[in-house]
Amino acid sequence: MADTVSVPTPRPGAPAGRRRSPQARPHVRRDHRAALFFILPALLGFGVFYLWPTIRGVYLSFTDYSLLTPPAWSGVANYTKLIGDASFWRSLAVTLEYVVINIGVQTIVAIALAVLMHRLTRSSFLRGVLLLPYLVANVVVALVWYWMADYTLGVVNQFLGWIGFGPLGFFGEEHLVIPTIALVNVWRHMGYTALLIFAGLQAIPRSLYEAAAVDGSTEWRSFWRITLPLLRPVLAMVLVITVIGSFQIFDTVAVTTQGGPADASKVVYYYIFEKAFSQFDFGYASAMGVALIVILAGVSLFQLRLLRAGESDLS
């Protein structure tokens, strides 16, 4: 690992950095020594707990490994198994359903909230209140909604009763469980996402809105003609961040349904967790992890292309 993260020691003799005036040299060398001192703890932590596990994980994905005996090289066996594993594809489909509902609803709500805040008020109190759910642990959020959506005593079903709907088994029915978990996490993340978008909105000059209003444009038209086009680069970044996060849904599932009922909420993360820590199939779990990285990278690239994130219309 040390070879890949070139340790910045000043090598005497070797041409250290740029060759400039000779007087500058001692200074540069002092720089290097100080740099090593400052970067060392973080570099150590990064090497041991981020870089090495990543490399090790890729290696393990080509092995048969149960933690008890040393990993045995098995070539691409895990990957061929992966392609034929219906449970894996099912978990991927479940995750995708979750991501689509979660991101779809969350993005629309967050844009609406951000625009409303932007056009109505600068109150940071209001922004803070909307951010509150994001600061509370996933576990807490999951438990509160599990209680509120309880079939017999949950307040959500009481509300539904008042407007004439029968009680729903939000966490207990196969076709409802993923939408339910997706919406619970919309509740947790909508204020956070709105805040990121709000930051982007502040970069749009107010004069544009004033000019549009003088020309008789309505708020509604200004939103579609000014706000949304100019927000595109920010929106692209926010989407990439939130989609990556959304794919990693685990806590809510682990605390409430444990993948049930009948695997209806067994998302990829939970499936990997189960393979690794219930069945101790570390090789196969690592292979699924690699697949997840590839999928995430692909989805992110696709989004950035589609939304032309690099370009701005503001110029």
Q: Give the nearest distance from C-beta 85 to another protein in angstroms.
A: 17
- Taking the least distance from each CB to another protein, the nearer of 86 and 215 is 215
Q: Give the nearest distance from C-beta 102 to another protein in angstroms.
A: 16
- Taking the least distance from each CB to another protein, the nearer of 28 and 100 is 28
Q: Which of 223, 231, 205, 198 is nearest to 127 (CA)?
A: 198
Q: Give the nearest distance from C-beta 304 to another protein in angstroms.
A: 13
- Taking the least distance from each CB to another protein, the nearer of 127 and 232 is 127
Q: Give the nearest distance from C-beta 314 to another protein in angstroms.
A: 14
Q: Give the nearest distance from C-beta 83 to another protein in angstroms.
A: 19
- Taking the least distance from each CB to another protein, the nearer of 83 and 294 is 294
- Taking the least distance from each CB to another protein, the nearer of 88 and 247 is 247
SS (H, E, C) the chain: CCCCCCCCCCCCCCCCCCCCCCCHHHHHHHHHHHHHHHHHHHHHHHHHHHHHHHHHHHHHCCEECCCCCCCEECCCHHHHHHHHCHHHHHHHHHHHHHHHHHHHHHHHHHHHHHHHHHHHCCCHHHHHHHHHHHHCCHHHHHHHHHHHCCCCCCHHHHHHHHCCCCCCCCCCCHHHHHHHHHHHHHHHHHHHHHHHHHHHHCCCCHHHHHHHHHCCCCHHHHHHHHHHHHHHHHHHHHHHHHHHHHHCCCHHHHHHCCCCCCCCCCCHHHHHHHHHHCCCCHHHHHHHHHHHHHHHHHHHHHHHHHCCCCCCCCC
- Taking the least distance from each CB to another protein, the nearer of 44 and 228 is 44
- Taking the least distance from each CB to another protein, the nearer of 81 and 127 is 127
Q: Give the nearest distance from C-beta 93 to another protein in angstroms.
A: 18
Q: Give the nearest distance from C-beta 306 to another protein in angstroms.
A: 18
